[in-house]
Structure 1
Amino acid sequence: MEQGKYSVGLDIGTTKIVAIIGKENEYGKIEILGIGKSKSLGVHRGVVNNITQTIQSIQQAVEQAESNSGLKIGSVVVGIAGQHIRSLQHSDYITRDDSEQVINEDDVDKLCNQVYKLIMLPGEEIIHVLPQEYKIDGQAEIKEPMGMYGARLEANFHVVVGQVSSIKNVGRCIKSAGLDLGSITLEPLASANAVLSQEEKEAGVALIDIGGGTTDLAIFKDGIIRHTAVIPFGGNVITEDIKEGCSIIEKQAELLKIKFGSAWPGENKENEIVSIPGLRGREPKEITLKNLSKIIHARVVEIVEQVYVEIKNYGHDEQKKKLIAGIVLTGGGSQLKHLKQLVEYITGMDTRIGYPNEHLAGDSDEEIASPLYATAVGLLMNALKTKAKNEAIGAEEEELQNQLPENEMNDDTAEAETAVVKPEIQRDRKSIFDKWSDKLKDFLDNAE
């Protein structure tokens, strides 16, 4: 099968790297053609801290996906997360020269580009500018300003900021692993695409993606992303606490957490004990499950409370900003027993576990429908969407070329007409992240 028929999502996480190959079937669902998974060795809290190890882990995952599917991976869509990601709210405006003309895409672009000129901390760069509501001549709550009249165009923006070096390091790893960087997507947004329904985004929902090294938060209301945050704690700190608290090795701590772990200490009786083999002939260790869940509970409460602070920062307490659909938990950490009940208890909000199976074809492997793969599935969806967009642009351009009457037009006129038409099509579909990815690709090419 040629590369044009399928797309690839690459999730570079703290504990695992997942490469997932898929295509869209005739019903608009995603058919998974192959999946590769490897242990992530060079990533700490979502940030690459060892380039060589990360490249090896990426290559391992990619090779596994290729041998599973019998396909060759060329270009990938990769997710970006990590503790360096932060977001802020910003308002900006432009005064239009001619209020007799309707507001067009140039005006909206000019307003968005103005936000990019915000002064950031050294080493930081704006990677996402998401317009929320617009105001025209003081008239508020406008969702789509194009086609309207007005002299002053104003907007509230959700601005996502990240460290340039961290993002370039991810790009360098992809390139060194022999892959092309298709585009970059913010991981909380990818997970949200995979597990949230449009109704939830409209009603107001907080997506909490508990990964190995970080916990990502994305808040939606009225179908628009309102707030994003990355909290530098995830499943790994829980494992670390078990390791320290029970004086056992990491591998055993991880197994204990998965098999017997619970976020609710009241569940376990005092006499429930698990025995762990001692190292090199030492006596086995006996650990009470009550003690284990107390250790887990303490750390999970800390993570959930930090997330809840972010939800309050967004303004959940205000009637107008209330998140009616509550909370959706996803990511590997969301599989911890009784976590849903604990989150409901702490926040008082309705909670469910988010599975990415809604968008998958019926015959997909059950394992892929696990919350563990939410980000990878979201990245694959993004890759397929981008591909469909590019195909639509190509088809539209071709159609325009065909419509130009060759006999009535000399070459110069034809060129002038296409030059006028093309940018319109392109600009209509080029997202801010695509532009940013292009910039990153140029940087990597020049850095050789």
Structure 2
Amino acid sequence: MFNLYQSISRKEEAEKEPQTTGHDRFCTHQERLPRSYYRRRKSTMTRRAKSASELNTPPAGSAKLALRKKRSSSTDEEDGTGLSKTGIVSISGERTPLLANRLDSLAKLFSCVALSPSVTNSSQGHGGRYEYTALEADSNVHERLELERKARERAQNACQHYLRSCPRYTLLYHLNDIGSRVDKHWFVVRDTSMKTERLLTLVPLSPNCAIECNPSTRGTILELFLALQHPYIYPVLDLDFRDVSGQTFVVLVLPFNNKGSLKDLIYKSRWQEDWRQKYGQRSAGLPVSQVQRLGRQILEALLFLKDRGFPPCSHLHSGNIILQNGVARLTGLENTLLGHTSRIHPVIWSRARTEPPAVDSICFGHVLFEMCAGYELCTPQPSQGHLLDIRNYPQVVEVLEFIFQHPERRFPSVEELLLCDFFRNIDLREMRATPLPVIAII
């Protein structure tokens, strides 16, 4: 009986699974292998390295075939520029969004243009073209800022030099670069005789100026500007020439207006901000009634200058139209006499070269377009795409076609523009309230 019990217990122990297996990392009950096994394993692990000739390399044809397969799989969705259609770079058939993001950031840094080929509405409004602006190096930025600081210091010294000899005005503060002319500076001064603020501008004399800078010339120019009294002409109160450190400056005193220009109204900007920051984004157009009224006032001012024998005003743009009590008043007339050219002069003159007297009509067409489109017209004349941007102003489109696509292949005069239906039947209260001076300018 005892022997039977031992045989049964040995059979159960044989059939029972061990508590530890050979896959357990810290098993202490594993069966030790014979030493011959370790000798054979050691001999197989210490083989010598194969030489280059012994390596089993695939033939050149199969390697090229494999490379061609990889390249074809990675460029199936590329557009020929190394980028996939989705804007994600693919390398060896695998898309790597992280690398795509880095390349996108670099592209934005060096060209300010996203990698996406989609066109925004603003680019369509500007003719459907991308604008590439290269970023300046740090050294160039510091150098430019240093030059601007020194230029402001020289301008302020010249202004104080003028005010010391003219005690009528006292300096209040130096304005930002509110205009596009890089060498022009604006100051707010106080007129002690009238107890009011004035705007003083200071600009170096242009080498193209054909007027001699002497006291007699100054008196003649002042008489001319005092004779140009009109509700839609911004007056010039004082003018002088000053030599400071071997450089001649032109000093102009104008009425101070805190409403800004027509350009500030179009872009809904603050007039005292820097010019480079005010007009960067496209704006909505003005109401058609306001475009109609302001356009008529501008034409009346141009007609007045033409009747007085003033040369064509090639400086007509939205930045030289001051708004005062809702009335448009032309300024910058002195630039024509002093030999300055406007920022848009190359664009305008490329169209008016064959017909110089028509420069006023061309400039007026550009101002009229900007009031409706909310951005400047950077081409000599509007294209069909530009006219589509102002399709909500059908009467303005007719006027622009009359200016730039005249049936007689010429430009209309200011008188002809005033006869357009769009500018007729406008109540000009300022013309009735202010009698015009009858002065013949020869």
Structure (1/2) with the larger strand percentage: 1
TM-score by length of 1: 0.20
TM norm structure 2: 0.20
Q: Which has the larger Rg? A: 2
Which has the higher relative contact order, 1 or 2, with Cα contacts under 8 A spaced 6 or more apart?
A: 1
